[in-house]
Amino acid sequence: MAGKDNIAALSATIGAGAVPARHVVLVAFDGVEAIDVAGPASALSKAAEYVPGAYRLTIASPSGGDIRTNAGLTIAATQTLSTVAVPIDTLIVAGGDEPALRAAIVEQGVSEWVARMAPEVRRVASVCTGAFALAAAGILDGRQCTTHRNACAMLQSMFPKAHVLNDPIYVCDDVLWTSAGVTTGLDMTLAMIGADLGQPVAIEIARNLAVYMLRGSTESQESRTLAAQARATPRVRELVAWIMNNLSGDLSVESMAQRVLMSPRSLARAFLAETGSTPAAFVMRARLERATTLLLQTDWPQEKIASESGFRSVDALQRAFGREKGCTPNLFRANGGKSV
């Protein structure tokens, strides 16, 4: 309830004219990845519902009008880049398949337009392979950034002045934000909204969009849950999903074995063979990842984080952090998710 009260107060303040609407321009093109546009646009539209006047969204393309996504969907009535109104608060470039992206950059002048606009923009961002458009505009030089994990090596090779990080789902380097593959554009946009309007607003939007959790920038592009499920039989695959939804419960091997109607020894063998991890090790890593996210996304005390993550005590949480991160939870939080 406190979160909704804060949203109402912020909405009233912005509605009274205390804060001007932030003009967000989302750059798309023929062959764009549909989710790269839809994810950020949906989050921003929800933010404007919760906090009227917070954002004004323009979807623009090189020639304007209707554009066709790589999924065959049509985005109607985009604005021509050359006619986009200024000032621009946030500029987000979507990604797409290589031929479409190359055409947008080389033939349609997207990077040239971005290079002209960027000096007057408060925040520049990309979704997935949209990072290549920023790189071609010279914006990634000397900056930390990321893109889809399948394209990180190419981005680094083509633009050696950029510092490409292969693992994070998104990277914020001062005014530059870059996200990894496809759906991570939603994570990045929610983080932007949280920075602009506060975490309660971002959390309410995530709930509205049925997002499982707000993922921090330190989350890995390679989902360990999906990796564990990839080779698993239906029984173990469903158990993995159940574990992720019940981290604060009893996840002893005996309890999990009872759930899937197996003996503890049989479950341990099957789980290791099918996921590459013992049940206990998988649970520990999952709990640590949950604690890591809560440390960065909330101001909760360690006692509550330990409880919500499934650690039996703060001491157990601190020991796990010491082993895996080489630092204490408080230091990890203070450093914004960077281990020391």
218 located within any domain: no
198 and 286 inside one domain: no
CA distance 165 to 175: 17
334 C-beta neighbours (distance < 10 Å), count: 13
For 238-263, write each residue's pLDDT tens digit: 998 899 889 999 999 999 999 999 99
Classify 309 as helix, strand or coil.
helix
pLDDT grade for 299, boundaries at 50, 70 and 90: confident
First to last CA, the chain: 36
11 and 116 inside one domain: yes
Asked if pLDDT for residue 340 goes beyond 80, the answer is no
Can you give the pTM of this predicted structure?
Answer: 0.73
Classify 14 as helix, strand or coil.
helix
- Return mean pLDDT, the chain: 88
128 located within any domain: yes
Calculate what percentage of the chain has a pLDDT beyond 70.
88
153 and 13 inside one domain: yes
Is-cis flag, bond preceding 87, omega within 30?
Answer: yes
Strands 90-93 and 123-126: parallel
Q: Which domain holds residue 230?
A: 223-340
Q: Which of 178, 208, 238 is the last residue of a domain?
A: 208
For 33-47, write each residue's pLDDT tens digit: 999 999 999 999 999
For 204-250, write each residue's pLDDT tens digit: 898 888 776 666 555 555 556 666 777 778 888 899 889 988 999 99
Q: Are 191 and 170 within 8 A, CB to CB?
A: yes
CATH number at residue 291: 1.10.10.60
98 located within any domain: yes
200 and 230 inside one domain: no
75 and 203 inside one domain: yes
32 and 135 inside one domain: yes
216 located within any domain: no
- Adjacent-strand bridge partners of 120: none
160 and 246 inside one domain: no
